[in-house]
Structure 1
Amino acid sequence: MDETKRICVGAISGAFGVNGEVRLKSFTADPEAIADYAPLTSEDGTRSFEVQLVRPIGQGFAARLSDVRTKEEADELKGVRLFAPRERLPQLPDDEFYHTDLIGLAVYDTGGKQLGTVRTVQNHGAADLLEVQAPGSSGTVLLPFTREAVPTVDLASGRIVADPPLGLFDDA
């Protein structure tokens, strides 16, 4: 399946209990909505799962996945990322983006100088951060993904215009 047509909506962080339930992290805006997008597939597309949320637990849910019946089967799925077809997900407002759409975009400053390329989108609790890799460098810079620091995201042209805080890209 074309990667641009699939969105990572969650990940399995291991077994929960002894009856084949898994610890499921949801990456959806409404965490419980992850089950609505099933069947979910593994990253390589070789496995497909129906999802039944059992109960909330710390940092996610205890969940049952189709064809997973034992703790050992659940343990084998630790680290598996789960994907849903884009067409099953809701349309986003104009000022919201799926992380997968931002990764790989070129980042320019307001004067037109290329600052780098978005490598990942991270969130450590407060707000999203764009990890930008400078051209010809292995180093990265974490750019706050706020309207002030990133006034323009143009998916059609594959570019972001950034107005980063003073000095942020000086060492990149």
Structure 2
Amino acid sequence: MGERVCVGAIAGAFGVRGDVRLKSFCAEPDAIGDYSPLTTEDGSRSFDVTLDRPIKNGFAARISGVTSKEAAESLKGTRLYIPRDRLPAPDDDEYYHADLINLSVVDTGGTALGRVKAVLNHGASDLLEIALKGRSDTVLLPFTRQAVPTVDVTAGRIVADPPDGLFPDE
């Protein structure tokens, strides 16, 4: 498990007074304001965040130390992090994406398939990007109870029952 978790990103300036467009990656989008202060990926900068109002694809927000449109725009693309221990414990059968990264993936017979490289969501549902064992390519596995019947974060593994033909050499 990582020490820090990405909870949002600055998408650019909003208005002319230094407000930013803030994308939230939290399950409850406005919870990002509760985690303030947020830091940059390298931890070199810290920002107090105040959400002003919801806007399309995020929030208009004020962040400490930013007072001009140019300063806000210069932060575009900055990902914002918090320490992992500030997040609430997930409920049963709920997982933080960060906790799934690098878990080994085995099929229902125990054969190693690969490791979780990323958790993706393109609008419909979550997909696990699996880096295949001994190969450079990846496979996208639907993160559903049917395709992924067991997730054991403590043991560091996922048991998958993928659809036929999804993994090579099946």
Using the alignment, how far apart are the partners of 2:135 and 2:74 within structure 1? 36
Q: Which of 48, 51, 54 lines up with 1:50 in the alignment?
A: 48
Q: Which of 98, 107, 110 lines up with 1:109 in the alignment?
A: 107
Q: Which of 111, 128, 131 lines up with 2:129 in the alignment?
A: 131
Gaps of 5+ in 1: none
Map of 1:92 onto structure 2: 90
Using the alignment, how far apart are the partners of 1:93 and 1:49 within structure 2? 29
Deviations 1:123-142 (A, max 9, x none): 11111100001012221111
Number of equivalent positions: 170
CA positional deviation for 1:86 = 2.0
Map of 2:8 onto structure 1: 10
CA positional deviation for 1:6 = 1.5
Partner amino acid, structure 2, of 1:58: K
Using the alignment, how far apart are the partners of 2:36 and 2:114 within structure 1? 36
Name the % identity: 66
Map of 1:148 onto structure 2: 146
Using the alignment, how far apart are the partners of 2:89 and 2:83 within structure 1? 13
Map of 2:62 onto structure 1: 64
CA positional deviation for 1:5 = 2.7
CA positional deviation for 1:171 = 6.5
SS at match of 2:2: helix
Q: Which of 120, 126, 130 lines up with 2:118 in the alignment?
A: 120
Please identify runs of 4+ aligned residues in structure 1 that moved more than 4 A: none
Q: Provide the aligned C-alpha RMSD in A.
A: 1.4
SS at match of 2:70: helix
Give the TM-score of the pair, scaled to structure 2: 0.95
Using the alignment, how far apart are the partners of 2:47 and 2:75 within structure 1? 11
CA positional deviation for 1:33 = 0.7
Map of 1:25 onto structure 2: 23
Q: Is the alpha carbon distance of 1:25 and 1:171 closer, same or farther for their aligned partners in structure 2, counting shifts above 3 Å?
A: farther
Gaps of 5+ in 2: none
CA positional deviation for 1:80 = 0.9
Map of 1:82 onto structure 2: 80
Q: Which of 157, 164, 167 lines up with 2:165 in the alignment?
A: 167
